[in-house]
């Protein structure tokens, strides 16, 4: 599952399928008859997708794995926390809180983590740096947006770019790790890549320097260093 850009992107699913995985590339807004925005999402939709894949004839074993990027990362954490049959979860530069949309599930509501546009800085050439824009999810009243990851039975892998300027991915991953261990769960594997930005693509894909952020409404910088980021993309693919 991808992030706030919406739509359906199948290239990573296709690459995994080429290695023998049964993969479902899951869109959740801004494609065909889906909503044009993601102001509201319902976890029942994602639950249906899990069961569809689990019951598919080519899927073996007792559960399925999740792979999420950016907004897709926190959706994966929400799925692992609330749904059955999730045995492995990989996120790339994800959040520990629900971001960008209100999430509903069986009478439960998780509001999106708030932000402060005043904390957005503009570069000299007019791009936005949003790394400090989101509120701290560990402070009140922002804790209502925290994903109850302590409920999850999945194993976890967090792939982190240490120069991610979308949000504080390393901070989130380390806090999730401490929370899981506090509840007696297995420590997740966290792999951090120096000088690596937000969009960690498959190996040899172009490095994204700047792109339009749907929720911010501006061109946003992702920082990082091209050579280091390119090497991170090679290793991250092997790890996931």
Report yes or no: 138 and 89 within 8 Å, Cβ to Cβ: no
pLDDT at position 90 is: 98
Number of helices (H), then strands (E), belonging to the chain: the values are 5, 11
Read off the pLDDT band of 230 (50, 70, 90): very high
What's the rounded mean pLDDT across residues 39-53? 96
Mean pLDDT of 130-145: 97
Domain 11-239: top CATH class: alpha beta
Which residues, 6 or more positions from 108, have their beta carbon under 8 angstroms from its beta carbon? 82
Average pLDDT over residues 91-103: 97
- Reported as a pLDDT band with limits 50, 70 and 90, residue 199 is very high
The rounded mean pLDDT for the chain is: 95
What pLDDT is stored for residue 62 in this prediction? 84
Q: CB-side exposure of 4: number of CA atoms within 13 Å?
A: 20
- Entry pTM: 0.96
d(CA 12, CA 6): 15
What end-to-end distance do the CA atoms of the chain give, in Å?
Answer: 14
């Amino acid at each position: 599952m991808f992030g706030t850009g919406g739509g359906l992107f199948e290239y990573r699913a296709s690459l995994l399928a080429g290695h023998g995985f049964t993969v479902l590339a899951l869109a959740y807004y801004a494609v065909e008859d889906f909503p044009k925005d993601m102001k509201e999402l319902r976890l029942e939709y994602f639950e249906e997708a899990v069961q569809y894949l689990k019951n598919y004839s080519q899927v073996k074993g007792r559960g399925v794995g999740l792979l999420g990027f950016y907004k897709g990362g926190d959706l994966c954490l929400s799925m692992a926390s609330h749904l059955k049959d999730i045995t492995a979860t990989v996120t790339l530069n994800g959040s520990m809180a629900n971001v960008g949309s209100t999430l509903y599930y069986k009478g439960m509501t998780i509001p999106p983590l708030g932000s402060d546009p005043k904390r957005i800085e503009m570069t000299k050439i007019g791009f936005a740096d949003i790394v400090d824009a989101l509120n701290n999810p560990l402070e009140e009243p922002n804790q209502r947006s925290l994903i109850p990851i302590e409920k999850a039975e999945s194993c976890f892998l967090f792939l982190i770019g240490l120069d991610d300027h979308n949000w504080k991915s390393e901070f989130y991953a380390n806090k999730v790790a401490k929370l899981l261990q506090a509840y007696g769960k297995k420590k997740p594997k966290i792999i951090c890549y120096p000088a690596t930005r937000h969009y960690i693509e498959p190996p040899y894909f172009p490095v994204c320097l700047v792109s339009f952020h749907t929720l911010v409404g501006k061109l946003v910088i992702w920082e990082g260093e091209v050579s280091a980021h390119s090497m991170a993309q090679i290793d991250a693919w092997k790890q996931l």
